[in-house]
Every structure is written in C-alpha cells, then in structure tokens.
Amino acid sequence: MPVYDPPPITRILELVQTGDESARRELWRRTYDEIHAIAAAFMRREIAGRTLQTTVVVHEAYLKLFGHACADFRSAGHFFSAAANAMRQLLVEHARKRRAAKRGGGIGTVPLDGDGFAAEFDRDPELELAVNEAMTLLEKEHPRAAEVAKLRYYTGLTVRQTAEALAVGDRTIEADWRFARAWLYQRLGGK
C-alpha cells in the first residue's frame, strides 16, 4: 500500500507545459536518475547486456517513467529534452573520467573504468568533451539549432520525431540540424 505517491510523470509533463520551473527540475531529476540508474544497471550487467546503447537507455527510461500509458508526443517532447540533457551529462561525466584515467592512469593504458562504462559509451572522450563545449556555445548563439542537435545527437530522435517534439516543421528541423552540424563541425576545427 503506497503511502506516498509521487506525482505521475504525465502530471509533471503537464506542469512543465504550463511553464512550472520546479516541475521542469523534477522532470530533469527523474529523467536523469532513471537514465543513470539504467545505465548503471547495464554496466553492472544486471540487465541482459554487457554494454548498452544510448537509444536503449533512453528507451528503457521512457518506458520506466511512462509505463505503458500513452503519452502525448508533445509532452513526451519535454521528456526527450530532459533525456537529451541527462544523456549529455552522463556522457560528459564519463568522458571526463576517462580522460582523467588516461592522463593520470599510469598503469598500463587499458581503460580500467571503475564504473565499467561500456564501449558504446566510449566515444572518444576528447571529442565528446569538445562537442559538449561547442554545444554550450551553440546553445547561447542558436538555441533552437542546439535543441535540435541535442535531441538528435543525444537521444537519437529522427528529424520527424524532433519536429513533433518541438512542434515545428520537418524542413525547419532538417535545416536546423544541418546548420548545427556545420556549425559544430566548424567549431571543432573541421573534425
């Protein structure tokens, strides 16, 4: 018998839509916790696999948070926004850890990650951190393009899904995505 019932995620999404800042934070917190927990469980091999894939994590988090309730895509858009940020933070934390291990590691050169981050997450840490930095700049200068880039890059939404999440047209998203890619590519010194 549950004594305390946390507000269902759909309620939080509704609140987020009304512009409730604390609801936004709550959504972000829950999404991050969920994604982190799922990622960690994957790492510990408690879930079937040894390694994981960004999409799988997001997917599981989504199902976990939403259950099987049908979610309106526009509110799910907020979830994906939060998920993108969560994934981003997770990847950046991981990349930092890996970079630190690489520099100070000493013993051998084999990654000996304490948290056992999986190879899928092991994008090149330098690149990951550089992308993160550039993304922050992009957020300042071109927030919408950055939003698109984050949704695509961190949660794997398609152009179509991104368009629906942000309630704008496909073509706009496509153009934003290409712009963001070009911009980031240029910012990362052509590589």
Q: Which residues bind other proteins (CB under 8 A)?
A: 44-45, 47-56, 58-60, 62-63, 66-74, 76, 98, 102, 106-112, 116, 118-120, 122, 124-125, 131, 141-142, 145, 149, 152-153, 155-158, 160-161, 164, 175, 178-179, 181-186, 190
- 10 Å CB burial of residue 56 (0-12, 13-18, 19+) is middle
Minimum separation from the CB atom of position 128 to other proteins (A): 11
Least distance from other proteins to the Cβ atom of residue 82, Å: 14
Task: Decide if 88 contacts 150 (C-beta within 8 A).
Answer: yes
Shortest separation between residue 44's beta carbon and other proteins, angstroms: 7
Q: Is there a contact between 173 and 159 (Cβ–Cβ < 8 Å)? A: yes
Provide the 10 A C-beta neighbour count for residue 10. Answer: 18
Beta carbon nearer to other proteins, 22 or 124: 124
Give whichever of 3 and 140 is closer to other proteins, judged by the CB atom: 140
Nearer to other proteins, 3 or 48 (CB): 48
State the minimum distance, in angstroms, from the CB of residue 85 to other proteins. Answer: 15
